[in-house]
Amino acid sequence: MKINRHCCTLSVLLAGLLLSAPGRAAEPLPDSLVKSSKASEGSTDVATSGFETAAKAKADSKDATELEISAGGLASAGNSRSIAATSAGKFRLRRSSDQVGAAIAANYAESQVTKGEGLQTTVENFQGKVRYDRFLAGSFAVFGSVSARHDRFQGLELRINLDPGFGYYFIDEDKQQLWLEAGYDFQHDIRTDEARATSLAENYYLDKTNDRHSGRAFVGYTSELSDSVKVTTGLEYLQGFSPATNYRFNWDGAVTSAVGKGFSIATAVSVRYDHNPIPEVENTDITTSISLVYHLL
Q: Using one digit for the tens of pLDDT, what is the confidence trace for 233-290?
A: 999 999 988 777 789 999 999 998 988 777 888 899 999 999 888 777 789 999 998 8
115-127 pLDDT tens trace: 778 889 998 999 9
pLDDT of residue 51: 74
pLDDT of residue 204: 86
pLDDT of residue 252: 94
pTM of the entire predicted model: 0.69
Tell how many helices (H) and how many strands (E) occur in the chain: 1, 13
Q: How far apart are CA 204 and CA 198, in angstroms?
A: 9
Q: How far apart are CA 173 and CA 95, in angstroms?
A: 25
162-182 pLDDT tens trace: 999 999 999 988 899 999 999
Average pLDDT over residues 183-202: 92
Q: Do 49 and 149 meet the contact criterion of CB atoms below 8 Å apart? A: yes
Helix then strand then coil, in percent of the chain rounded to 5, is: 5, 60, 35
